[in-house]
Amino acid sequence: MEKIVSLTNSKVKKWVSLQKKKNRDILNLFLIEGEHLIEEALKANCVDCIITDTTCPFDFKEVYEVTPQIMKKISTHTSEVHFIAVCHKLDQGITNVKRVVLLDGIQDPGNLGTIIRSAVSFGFDAVYASKDTCDLYNEKVIRSTQGALFSIPVIYASIVDIMKELKKDGFVTYSFALQNASTFKDIQEKEKMAFIFGNEGNGIRKEVLDVSDEIIKIEMNHFESLNVAVACGIVLYQFQK
């Protein structure tokens, strides 16, 4: 175990830089914090090194012992953290899919993380996100997935292009919106299904709706719409594999 005590150490500077998306993209690395997330990352074989200011419980070859001051500088948590891992971004290969989620412009990190967690919980095969959806490796997204990001491919791409490819592969695509929509209870289960959810304020873009096979709304009392992560959870539960 190598010990680092200087805040100006080059490794410390590199780790701190990963708090910013542009540096995560350049280095193809990201940070996770806490024992549970590190355990999940180790299972996914994507941990590069572990940083701690106490005794390390993980059997891993590259561990750095640092001071509490360095730990605080690297961490994005408001509460005290004793274990941080530097991970390389995940291999996002996708094969043999039958249930997928598509996200058009989701901005809230908590919503994105919750949707990913629901997708894993209900056996979905992949999540596709538009390029303006918030970053998968944002610390708030990572925390809200509770480790689920290590169990499902999350691909950033043009939603319209992905929908066209999925339809060629036999998928039926369902966009959730309020206007000109059929009711959720009328959806018939198909072998291959793709569900599209839109931005928290503006919903799904017109060009995405125009490519959809069906436009659907969740029928309800009192309110017109639900939080996007809640709506997604209802749909994914209903059509889980």
What is residue 125's predicted lDDT score, i.e. its pLDDT?
96
Domain ranges of the chain: 2-88, 99-238
**pLDDT confidence band for 95 (50 / 70 / 90):** confident
Q: What is the pLDDT of residues 14-24, one digit of tens each?
A: 999 999 999 99
What is residue 82's predicted lDDT score, i.e. its pLDDT?
96
**CATH architecture assignment, domain 99-238:** 3-Layer(aba) Sandwich (3.40)
Contact yes or no for 176/197 (Cβ under 8 A): yes
**pLDDT confidence band for 91 (50 / 70 / 90):** confident
CATH of 2-88, picked from 3.40.50.12780, 3.40.50.261, 3.30.1330.30, 3.40.50.2300, is: 3.30.1330.30
What is residue 147's predicted lDDT score, i.e. its pLDDT?
95
Average pLDDT over residues 28-44: 96
Query: What is the total residue count of the chain?
Result: 241
What is residue 94's predicted lDDT score, i.e. its pLDDT?
81
How far apart are alpha carbons 144 and 117 in whole angstroms?
Answer: 8
Q: What is the pLDDT of residues 50-68, one digit of tens each?
A: 999 999 999 999 999 999 9
**pLDDT confidence band for 218 (50 / 70 / 90):** confident
pLDDT at 221 over 80: no
Higher pLDDT, 90 or 40: 40
Helix (H), strand (E) at residue 51: strand 47-52
**Average of per-residue pLDDT values in the chain:** 94
∠ at Cα 111 (94, 146), nearest 5°? 70
How far apart are alpha carbons 219 and 184 in whole angstroms?
Answer: 7
**pLDDT confidence band for 96 (50 / 70 / 90):** confident
Listed in order, strand segments (DSSP E) in 116-213 are 126-129, 154-156, 172-176, 182-183, 193-198
Q: Which of 73-77, 90-94, 149-153 has the lowest mean pLDDT?
A: 90-94
Per-residue b or e along 179-202, where b marks 16 or more CB atoms closer than 10 Å to that residue's CB = eebeebeebeeeebbbbbbbbeee
For residue 153, what are the contacts with CB-CB under 8 A and spacing of at least 6? 90, 92, 93, 94, 125, 126, 127
Handedness of CA 62, 67, 68, 73 (dihedral sign): negative
With pLDDT > 90 as the criterion, what percentage of the chain qualifies? Answer: 84
Q: What is the pLDDT of residues 172-193, one digit of tens each?
A: 999 998 788 888 888 999 999 9
What is residue 111's predicted lDDT score, i.e. its pLDDT?
97
